[in-house]
Amino acid sequence: MKGFLVLKDGSQYEGELFGALFSRVGEVVFNTSMTGYQEVLTDPSYFGQVVVMTYPLIGNYGVHPDDEQSEKPMVRGLVVREKVDDYSHWRGNESLDAYMTRHGIIGISGIDTRALTRKLRSQGTVPGMIVADLDNLDETKQELNRYDVKGYVDEVSTKKPYVITPKEPCGLKASVMDFGVKRGILKSLVARGVELHVFPARTTAEEVLACNPDGVLLSNGPGDPSELSEIVAVVKDIIGKKPVFGICLGHQILTHAFGGTTEKLVYGHRGGNHPVKDLIHNHIVITAQNHGYVTVPESLDMTQIEITHINVNDGSVEGMRHRHLPIFSVQYHPEASPGPRDSDLLFDQFVTMMKEAK
């Protein structure tokens, strides 16, 4: 069935629809990963976005429940060059088309994703909508103009606290502030024997610390960190009381808690092949990333904060640590899911930090 991707600036891209024919507005962004489309679909950090996959062949290995990063897809649409229905992989148990139909997510194939990505790189991300026809173009334009990204953290965060107990406990427990945490991050800590107490995003510092955790994890998530002043205030209350590890949005929230600011990138960093320089150990790691905002380095008090990682492509801040307190954070995803596991040792660093503090 023929369909169109319509952008806020009036651009139109014709293709073939798949998945569920349920159109919703989203911020059109691109991801450069060659694999991991199911992890991308279910990553809460993509909530409210229409994702363009730059790799031209998507769906070739099907989908599998073990690859999901949340209970359901979080994107509002998927744009691909070529969709595969006859998947071939021993783990695959459902086609991408059937999976998206079952979860109510619309997709479009046959799009010149190279041209679309070049447009997003030069002009920046823009609201867009996948539609079946152009008969109601004026209504579509109105919806695009009304697009707003506020309140996304509350949409994806857990609604009530829960506990994950490892099979082989190491004697440590950590509180997780869930801003849209990926299952891969939780699994990485549980695999190290850490008991996790996961809390909704809108939780007080007293509640987070009530279980007497050995550390606090600030998770990834969607949206603009500058709009999360209440959460930043809670994190300020936690600083200095327990070791803290921030990932992605958690890193940005720490930036604001330290008195710094963040700014939006033109088109963001999304994919599994982003080179980052570790300034402490003087080497390069390839990282998985998904973010549209970055720390403004000039806004940080360098007598208290040390920048530990920078993006090789654009020099943006990818990691930092406190000079005196057991606090560190990274802008990228050390658990990958999908992507390289060059930075998996950061979870070991957090475990060591908790043991030393204990």
Task: Give the catalytic positions in this structure.
Answer: 248, 333, 335
Euclidean distance between CA atoms 243 and 189, whole angstroms: 15
In this structure, is the dihedral angle defined by the CA atoms of residues 4, 270, 174 and 223, taken in order, positive or negative? Answer: negative
Q: How far is CA 210 from CA 216, 299, 356, in A?
A: 12, 32, 20
Give the integer Cα–Cα distance in Å for 231 and 173: 22
Q: Name the helix (H) or strand (E) containing 217.
A: strand 215-218
Give the separation between CA 100 and CA 113, rounded to whole angstroms: 20
How far, in Å, CA of 296 to CA of 28, rounded? 24
**Where do the DSSP E strands lie in 248-347?**
262-278, 283-295, 305-311, 317-322, 327-330
Q: Are strands 162-164 and 195-199 parallel, antiparallel or unpaired?
A: antiparallel
* H-helix segments, the chain: 37-42, 96-102, 113-123, 137-145, 152-156, 183-190, 205-209, 229-238, 249-257, 345-357
